C-alpha cells in the first residue's frame, strides 16, 4: 500500500502550526494570509496527506476481510460437497438402528424423553406446536410434553392452559408450567423447567419453539443416534419454512437460512462434529446439558452459549439434514429487524465473554479451538457482517470522490460474485432472485454490523430480547381487518432513519460517479440506494391492508 510521503506530512505540520499562530495571535489578520485560495490549498494538502491514505487503508483492510470471508465459505463449501459426493451421511457414519422392542421390558426399552415448548404470548401458533408435540410417535408412558408459558397476557395464558388440558384429557402426559417473572427470558424459562422433579427421570430433551411442528416420527429418527452413540450430545434437525413464499422478504430469508443449514451446519458437523445449536428442532442429552453448566442467560443466544460450552467439554454434535421440522419465518420487517439484532449482537457478546475460556479449554484439540475462535466466531459472525456493510456500502462508494484511489477488480467484482453464488446453492429455486437477495442482505448488514459493535462493547441494547412475532394461520383464518388491528402502527413508525441516511448517501455517490467518473460503480450504487430507501420507508415484508 502506498505510504504518505514525508513531504506531505511536513506540509500538514506547517499548516497546523500556521492555524495555531492565527488563533493565538492578537493580530491574526496579519499573522497569516488566509485567502480563499490559501484555504483551498490547505484543504487539498489535508486531503492528500490524511484522507486519501485513510481511504486506501480502509480499502486494504476490507480486502483482507473479504478474502477471509471467501476462504471461509470455500472451506465450508468443499467440506459440504465432500460429504455429499462421498455420501458421508449421519446414518453411514454413526450407528442409528431403531430401538428394538423388548417383550420383557415392554415400553421401558425406550428412553424417557421430555419435550419442551417455551412460549411467550404465542396466540397464533400455540395450538400448532402443542398439537405436533402431542402427536409424536413414542410410547405414551415414556414421554412428557412440558409447556413453559411465560405469557403476560391473561387471555393467552388461559388459552394455552386450556389447550394443555384438552390434550391431557386425551391421555397425553402434558405439563403446563408458569413462573412469576420472565427473568432470563427463554434461558430462564428452560432453566426453571429443568428443576421439576419429573425431569430427573428423563434422559433426553427435544426442544421446540412455539411455531415449530415436527413430524410424528421426529423422535424415532433422532433419539437412536443418541442412544447408540454415547459421545453425541445434540442431534440438530433442519428447519423447513411453511411461509417461505408469502412475500419477497421471506423468499430471501429462505435463501440465507437454507445456506446456513445445508452448508454451515453440515460442514461443521462433518469436519469436527461441532456447530451452533439453533435453539429449537434439536434433541439434547440431559447429562451433557448438566455437565456443561446448564442454561445461562448472560447473552441473548443461550442456545449458542450452551453449544460452545458443551463442545469445549468434548461432546459431539450431529446435524441431520433430511429430518425437517416445519417452522415460520418472520414476515414483517419489524419482526425481522429485532430477530437479526438478537442473532448478531448475541454471538459477538458471547465471543467477548468466552474467548479466554475457549483458549484455556483442556478437553478439545488446538484445531477445534481454532475452528471455534476463527471460523465459528470471527469469520462467520463478526468479520462477515462488518465487511459487507463497511466495504460495499461505505468505503467503495466513498472512494469515487478520490480518482487517485484504485480498488482491484477482484475485490470489487470477483470476490463478492463468488460469495454470492456460493450462498445461492442452498436454494436453487430462488436463483433468479439473487440480485434482490444481495441488495436485501446489504441493507440488513447495516443492522448486523451495528449489533456486532453493541455486542463486542456490551453497549445499551446488548441484552435486548424481543420475541419474534408470528402470524401463523392468521392471514388465512381471520379477516384482514382483524389482522390489521393487531399489527397497526403509527405512520411515523414506518420511517427507519439509518436506512434513509445511507440510501441518500449512496444516491449522492451514484450521481457523482455517473457524472464525473468512468468506473461504472453507479450501476451498483443506484439500485442499492433504492433498496435502502424502500426498506427505510418500511415497504417490505407482509403488507397488511387496513381498509379493504
- Position of cell 452448508? 263
**How high is the pLDDT of residue 485?**
52
Alpha-carbon distance 115 to 110, whole Å?
15
Q: How many CB atoms lie within 10 A of CB 104?
A: 6
Among residues 234, 361, 245, the alpha carbon closest in space to that of 304 is found at: 234
**DSSP 8-state symbol, 464:** -
Opening angle at CA 78, ends 74 and 82, nearest 5:
170
The phi and psi torsions of 76 (rounded to 5 degrees) equal -65, -40
- Structure-block grid coordinates of residue 125: 401458533
Q: pLDDT band at residue 39, thresholds of 50, 70 and 90?
A: confident
Q: How many CB atoms lie within 10 A of CB 201?
A: 10
Would you say 419 and 69 are in contact if contact means Cβ atoms under 8 Å apart?
Answer: yes
Reported residue count of the chain is 548
Q: What are the pLDDT digits (tens) for 229-262?
A: 999 999 999 999 999 999 999 999 999 999 999 9
**How high is the pLDDT of residue 17?**
53
Q: Which of 41-45, 211-215, 344-348 has the lowest mean pLDDT?
A: 41-45
Q: Which of 3-12, 57-66, 120-129 has the lowest mean pLDDT?
A: 3-12
Alpha-carbon distance 18 to 486, whole Å?
64
Domains located in the chain, CATH noted: 103-332 (3.90.550.10)
> What does the mean pLDDT of the chain come to?
89
Q: What are the pLDDT digits (tens) for 274-293?
A: 999 999 999 999 999 999 99
Would you say 240 and 201 are in contact if contact means Cβ atoms under 8 Å apart?
Answer: no
What separation in angstroms does the CA of 395 have from each of 43, 61, 70, 378, 385? Answer: 21, 11, 19, 21, 14
Query: What is the average per-residue pLDDT within 41-50?
Result: 83
Q: Which of 4-8, 177-181, 287-291 has the lowest mean pLDDT?
A: 4-8
Alpha-carbon distance 414 to 258, whole Å?
23
Residue 10, pLDDT > 70, answer no
Would you say 121 and 151 are in contact if contact means Cβ atoms under 8 Å apart?
Answer: yes
**How high is the pLDDT of residue 390?**
96
List the beta bridge partners of residue 325: 239
**How high is the pLDDT of residue 6?**
47
Residue 123, pLDDT > 60, answer yes
Q: Is the dihedral of CA 171, 172, 173, 174 positive or negative?
A: negative
pLDDT > 70 fraction of the chain, expressed in percent and rounded: 88
**How high is the pLDDT of residue 289?**
98
**How high is the pLDDT of residue 256?**
95
Alpha-carbon distance 113 to 138, whole Å?
9
Q: pLDDT band at residue 543, thresholds of 50, 70 and 90?
A: low
Largest CA distance in the chain: 107
Residue 129, pLDDT > 60, answer yes
**How high is the pLDDT of residue 483?**
53
What separation in angstroms does the CA of 524 have from each of 104, 186, 244, 373, 489? Answer: 70, 41, 27, 34, 33
List the beta bridge partners of residue 115: 145, 206
**How high is the pLDDT of residue 16?**
52
**DSSP 8-state symbol, 47:** I
Distance of CA 274 to the CA centre of its chain: 17
Residue 40, pLDDT > 60, answer yes
Distance of CA 269 to the CA centre of its chain: 18
Question: Regarding predicted confidence, which is higher, 194 or 46?
Answer: 194
Q: Which of 22-26, 367-371, 412-416 has the lowest mean pLDDT?
A: 22-26
Provide the CB-side half-sphere exposure for 46 (13 A, CA). 9
Q: Is the dihedral of CA 359, 362, 366, 369 positive or negative?
A: negative
Among residues 346, 330, 332, the alpha carbon closest in space to that of 256 is found at: 330
Q: What are the pLDDT digits (tens) for 337-364?
A: 999 999 999 999 999 999 999 999 999 9
Residue 28, pLDDT > 50, answer no
pLDDT > 90 fraction of the chain, expressed in percent and rounded: 76
What separation in angstroms does the CA of 115 have from each of 175, 286, 401? Answer: 10, 12, 59
Query: What is the average per-residue pLDDT within 87-98?
Result: 92
What separation in angstroms does the CA of 490 have from each of 109, 153, 536? Answer: 58, 23, 15
Q: What are the pLDDT digits (tens) for 419-456?
A: 999 998 889 999 999 999 999 999 999 999 999 999 99
Inter-axis angle of helices 434-457 and 415-424, to 10 degrees? 100
Q: What are the pLDDT digits (tens) for 299-329?
A: 999 999 999 999 999 999 999 999 999 999 9
The phi and psi torsions of 366 (rounded to 5 degrees) equal -60, -35
Would you name the residues annotated as active-site residues? 150, 303
Alpha-carbon distance 351 to 347, whole Å?
6
Amino acid at each position: 500500500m502506498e505510504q504518505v510521503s514525508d513531504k506531505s506530512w511536513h506540509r500538514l505540520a506547517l499548516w497546523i502550526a500556521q492555524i495555531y499562530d492565527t488563533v493565538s495571535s492578537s493580530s491574526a489578520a496579519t499573522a497569516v494570509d488566509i485567502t480563499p485560495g490559501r484555504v483551498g490549498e490547505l484543504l487539498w494538502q489535508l486531503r492528500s496527506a490524511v484522507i486519501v491514505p485513510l481511504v486506501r487503508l480502509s480499502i486494504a483492510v476490507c480486502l483482507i476481510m473479504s478474502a477471509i470471508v471467501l476462504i471461509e465459505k470455500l472451506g465450508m463449501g468443499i467440506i459440504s460437497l465432500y460429504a455429499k459426493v462421498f455420501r458421508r451421511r449421519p446414518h453411514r457414519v454413526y450407528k442409528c438402528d431403531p430401538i428394538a422392542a423388548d417383550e420383557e421390558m415392554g415400553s421401558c426399552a425406550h428412553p424417557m424423553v421430555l419435550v419442551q415448548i417455551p412460549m411467550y404470548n404465542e396466540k397464533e401458533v400455540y395450538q400448532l406446536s402443542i398439537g405436533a408435540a402431542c402427536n409424536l410417535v413414542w410410547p405414551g408412558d415414556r414421554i412428557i410434553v412440558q409447556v413453559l408459558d411465560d405469557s403476560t397476557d391473561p387471555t393467552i395464558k388461559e388459552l394455552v392452559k386450556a389447550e394443555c388440558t384438552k390434550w391431557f384429557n386425551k391421555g397425553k402426559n402434558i405439563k403446563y408450567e408458569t413462573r412469576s417473572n420472565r427473568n432470563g427470558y427463554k434461558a430462564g424459562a428452560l432453566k426453571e423447567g429443568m428443576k421439576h422433579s419429573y425431569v430427573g427421570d428423563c434422559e433426553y430433551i427435544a426442544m421446540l419453539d412455539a411455531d415449530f411442528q415436527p413430524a410424528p416420527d421426529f423422535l424415532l429418527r433422532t433419539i437412536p443416534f443418541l442412544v447408540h452413540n454415547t459421545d453425541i450430545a445434540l442431534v440438530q434437525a433442519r428447519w423447513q419454512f411453511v411461509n417461505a413464499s408469502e412475500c419477497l422478504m421471506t423468499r430471501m430469508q429462505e435463501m440465507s437460512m437454507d445456506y446456513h443449514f445445508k452448508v454451515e451446519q453440515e460442514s461443521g458437523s462433518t469436519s469436527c462434529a461441532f456447530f451452533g445449536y439453533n435453539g429449537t428442532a434439536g434433541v439434547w442429552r440431559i447429562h451433557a446439558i448438566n455437565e456443561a453448566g446448564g442454561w445461562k442467560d448472560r447473552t441473548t443466544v443461550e442456545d449458542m452459549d450452551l453449544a460452545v460450552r458443551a463442545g469445549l467439554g468434548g461432546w459431539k454434535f450431529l446435524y441431520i439434514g433430511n429430518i425437517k421440522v416445519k417452522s415460520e419465518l418472520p414476515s414483517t420487517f419489524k419482526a425481522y429487524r429485532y430477530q437479526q439484532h438478537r442473532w448478531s449482537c448475541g454471538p459477538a457478546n458471547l465471543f467477548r465473554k468466552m474467548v479466554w475460556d475457549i483458549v484455556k479449554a483442556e478437553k478439545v484439540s488446538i484445531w477445534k479451538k481454532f475452528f471455534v475462535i476463527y471460523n465459528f466466531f470471527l469469520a462467520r459472525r463478526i468479520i462477515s457482517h462488518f465487511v459487507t456493510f463497511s466495504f460495499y456500502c461505505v468505503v467503495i462508494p466513498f472512494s469515487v470522490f478520490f480518482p487517485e484511489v484504485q480498488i482491484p477488480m477482484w475485490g470489487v467484482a470477483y470476490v463478492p460474485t463468488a460469495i454470492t453464488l456460493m450462498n445461492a446453492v442452498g436454494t436453487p429455486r430462488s436463483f433468479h432472485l439473487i440480485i434482490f437477495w444481495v441488495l436485501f442482505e446489504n441493507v440488513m448488514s447495516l443492522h448486523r454490523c451495528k449489533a456486532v459493535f453493541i455486542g463486542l462493547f456490551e453497549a445499551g441494547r446488548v441484552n435486548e430480547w424481543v420475541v419474534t412475532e408470528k402470524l401463523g394461520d392468521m392471514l388465512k383464518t381471520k379477516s384482514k381487518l382483524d389482522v390489521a388491528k393487531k399489527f397497526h402502527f403509527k405512520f411515523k413508525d414506518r420511517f427507519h432513519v439509518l436506512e434513509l441516511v445511507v440510501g441518500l448517501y449512496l444516491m449522492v455517490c451514484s450521481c457523482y460517479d455517473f457524472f464525473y467518473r468512468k468506473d461504472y460503480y453507479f450501476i451498483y450504487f443506484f439500485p442499492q440506494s433504492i433498496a435502502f430507501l424502500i426498506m427505510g420507508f418500511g415497504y417490505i415484508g407482509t403488507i397488511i391492508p387496513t381498509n379493504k
